[in-house]
Structure 1
Amino acid sequence: MNTSLDHLHPNQSGTIIAIEAGAELTRRMSALGLRLGRRVEVLRIAPWQGPLQIRVGHTELMIRRTDAAKINIQLSA
């Protein structure tokens, strides 16, 4: 099943299959390790539409929900 990163719940994970963002945002995400084929896990979600805390490899990041919505994920089984 495919969805966007902002729809995952804590402890859910998946693989990045597409990033639907402009060139600048895609470059910034890539520099943070958010690239096609990478596994992403949601650790926590801030209330009131706040950011998501995610893990990519051994790195933990905070990402805005609007940016997370641009990352398409294939859920892990």
Structure 2
Amino acid sequence: MSDYAQYLQERDQIDGLLNQGYSIKSITENLSGAFVEFEKIIGSTITSETLHILTADARKYFSVKLIHR
């Protein structure tokens, strides 16, 4: 898979979670990419999802989304 195709896939995953009402809870970056933890609170139920972001463009993308929210 090309880097651009991988970026598009990661961007779509980020947008999908944000559109479902998740918010970014924490970000952990290391040499293998970034682990972005998303959290959604409905009543007393907390649901979380974690994405492993590999591409630099997708890391820039979620950073911009974090700043805008």
**TM-score of the pair, normalised by structure 2:** 0.46
Of the two, which has the highest radius of gyration?
2
Q: Which has the higher contact order (CA 8 A, sep 6+)?
A: 1
Q: Hey, which of these two has a bigger chunk of helix by percent?
A: 2
